[in-house]
């Protein structure tokens, strides 16, 4: 891929590496500080593997207090810190710089409290998403957000990016299931925000922190909402001969007042590969919907009847209602394995944007047209119920000049999302990869306000630099510094301008 413009490394910091390592080793166990240049390469990138830069040092604290101690050292020695969960970010959210300290949550693994009476679980944020459900499912509970990477991704990253998943149509994304956090500020202060209550009083600081991509502080503990398992659940598989018909079906289901737990979409390129990989029995059609409902048997039957009626009005090529747990598992097996299956045959760039559900037919049509214009195939697999798109741009990395074409097509699709009233991110965050589109989504004065909010938490901008906010270089000079950071007489102090 083309180069991401990151903050230039501070040579004076790199020259003090030995002193910084020594200071960190004085406040952390020796095995928690990683500074050998061969070992730090393990942290040179996240899920966006096209861009790499080994950090100066990585630290792996086991407690909030150790995390705070590391942050105090970095604050006192003027070192930037890049938080890292499990490293599954697809937007370069944990991309380091050569003069930074990576602060990983991998050893924050403890379950601190399970309270079934109040339906909460309190965990350290290094635990994986799927393991949260694993801790409570034998007692009849589950944790709702379920990103595709849930087997590997950490709660820390879920909070940073406000992750969603297939079943978030009904239950909401991370912010709707996060009740409280313990967070370490950039100067090492430990603060607690929210708690076990469903709605904390005063300012909604929790809503500000969730999705802030580690730029306001590092969340080390989280209080999460857990829910009783539904009485039952059943999916229906609906195939169409056009993407537009499938998109219209999604809109009609939502308009009808039926609220499925999930509506997932796959198109022909994805269906073909997934079927070969998972053998889920999918029909080879242009577009496929998986719609799941839950409740009692009577509720499930009623919802499925209404959904299939809506679908049949659009002349589907197939409607298949699951009749057993085995059939349901097979239907979901294909969807859950989609990204892995695509990776076996192609390199791909996974995009993440959202559009209004009513705009799905037009958006899918335009993505097909853009695919042809750029001479690159696109496979679509996404959370259709809330319009969260995940187009996969397929390419061969060995092909000369293909990286620029992939980036250009990705940019065109992001601009399309904005054109129809959507967003450049649904759950993957902005990171370092998509920040050049932020000025197209927000006004200059909005960006200034965001920077002021960030500086209220991190006055020197040392937490996760080079993410979210655009720079002139990252946008091909499309956003001049003066326009980006000044609006109607507002300005940020020069020493506090951060990216």
**What is the 3 state secondary structure string of the chain?**
CCCCCCCCCCHHHHHCHHHHHHHHHHHCCHHHEECCCCCHHHHCCCCCCCCCCCCCEEECCCCHHHHHHHHHHHHHCCCCEEEECCCCCCCCCCCCCCCCEEEECCCCCCEEEEECCCCEEEEECCCEHHHHHHHHHHHCEECCCCCCCCCCCEHHHHHHHCCCCCCHHHHCCHHHCEEEEEEECCCCCEEEEECCCCCCCCCCHHHHHCCCCCCCCEEEEEEEECEECCCCEEEEEEEECCHHHHHHHHHHHHHCCCCCCEEEEEEHHHHHHHHHHHCCCCCCCCEEEEEEEECCHHHHHHHHHHHHHHHHCCCCCEEEECCCHHHHHHHHHHHHCHHHHHHCCCEEEECCEECCHHHHHHHHHHHHHHHHHHCCCEEEEEEHHHCEECEEEEECCCCCCHHHHHHHHHHHHHHHHHHCCCECCCCCCCCCCCHHHHHHHCCHHHHHHHHHHHHHHCCCCCECCCCCCCCCCCCCCCCCHHHHHEECCEECCHHHCCC
Residue-level pLDDT at 148:
85
pLDDT at 411: 94
Predicted local confidence at residue 480, as pLDDT: 41
pLDDT score at 475: 42
Check residue 478 and give its pLDDT. 37
CA distance 468 to 471: 10
- Segment-wise mean pLDDT, segments of 10 residues, the chain, 499 residues: 75 97 98 97 92 96 98 97 96 95 98 97 98 97 94 96 92 96 98 86 90 97 97 96 94 94 95 92 95 96 97 97 94 88 88 94 94 95 93 92 92 96 94 91 92 94 92 44 45 49
Beta bridge partner(s), residue 288: 239, 266
CA atoms of 152 and 397, how far apart (whole Å): 25
Task: Show the tokens assigned to 305.
Answer: 């009847």
> pLDDT value at position 482?
39
d(CA 162, CA 210): 6
Distances (CA, A) of 462 to 72, 282, 321, 485: 12, 49, 52, 18
């Amino acid at each position: 891929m083309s180069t991401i413009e990151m903050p230039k490394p501070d040579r004076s910091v790199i020259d003090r590496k030995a002193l910084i390592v020594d200071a960190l080793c004085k406040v952390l166990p020796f095995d928690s500080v990683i500074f050998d240049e061969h070992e730090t390469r393990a942290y040179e990138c996240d899920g966006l593997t096209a861009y790499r830069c080994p950090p100066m040092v990585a630290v792996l604290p086991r407690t909030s207090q150790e995390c705070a101690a590391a942050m105090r050292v970095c604050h006192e020695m003027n070192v930037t810190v890049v938080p890292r969960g499990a490293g599954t970010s697809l937007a370069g959210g944990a991309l380091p710089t050569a003069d930074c300290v990576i602060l990983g949550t991998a050893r924050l693994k403890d379950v601190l409290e399970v309270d079934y009476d109040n339906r909460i679980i309190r965990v350290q944020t290094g635990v994986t998403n799927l393991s949260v459900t694993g801790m409570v499912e034998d007692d009849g509970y589950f944790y709702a957000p379920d990103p595709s990477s849930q087997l590997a991704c950490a709660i820390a990253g879920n909070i940073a990016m406000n992750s969603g998943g297939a079943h978030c149509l009904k239950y909401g994304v991370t912010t709707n299931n996060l009740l409280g956090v313990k967070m370490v500020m950039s100067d090492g202060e430990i603060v607690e925000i929210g708690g076990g209550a469903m709605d904390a009083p005063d300012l909604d600081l929790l809503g500000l922190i969730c999705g802030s991509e580690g730029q306001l502080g590092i969340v080390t503990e989280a209080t999460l909402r857990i829910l009783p398992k539904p009485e039952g659940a059943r999916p229906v598989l609906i195939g169409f001969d056009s993407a537009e018909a499938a998109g219209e079906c999604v809109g009609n289901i939502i308009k009808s007042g039926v609220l499925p737990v999930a509506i997932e979409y796959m198109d022909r390129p994805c269906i073909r590969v997934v079927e070969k990989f998972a053998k889920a029995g999918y029909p080879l059609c242009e577009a496929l919907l998986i719609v799941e409902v839950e409740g009692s048997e009577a509720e499930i039957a009623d919802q499925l009847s209404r959904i299939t009626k809506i679908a049949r009005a659009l002349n589907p090529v197939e409607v298949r209602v699951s009749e057993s747990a085995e059939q349901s598992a097979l239907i979901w097996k294909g969807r859950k394995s989609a990204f892995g299956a695509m990776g076996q045959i192609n390199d791909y760039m996974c995009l993440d944007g959202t559009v209004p559900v009513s705009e799905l037919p037009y958006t899918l049509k335009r993505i097909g047209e853009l695919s042809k214009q750029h001479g690159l195939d696109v496979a679509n697999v996404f959370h259709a119920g809330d319009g969260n798109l995940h187009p996969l741009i397929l390419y061969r990395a060995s092909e000369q000049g293909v990286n620029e074409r992939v980036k250009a097509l990705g940019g065109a699709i992001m601009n399309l999302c904005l054109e129809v009233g959507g967003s450049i991110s649904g759950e993957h965050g902005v990171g370092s990869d998509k920040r050049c589109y932020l000025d197209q989504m927000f006004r200059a004065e909005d960006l200034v306000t965001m920077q002021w909010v960030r500086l209220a938490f991190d006055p020197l901008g040392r937490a996760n630099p080079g993410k979210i906010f655009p720079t002139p270089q990252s946008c091909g000079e499309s956003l001049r510094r003066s326009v980006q950071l000044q609006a109607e007489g507002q300005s940020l102090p020069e020493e506090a301008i951060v990216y």
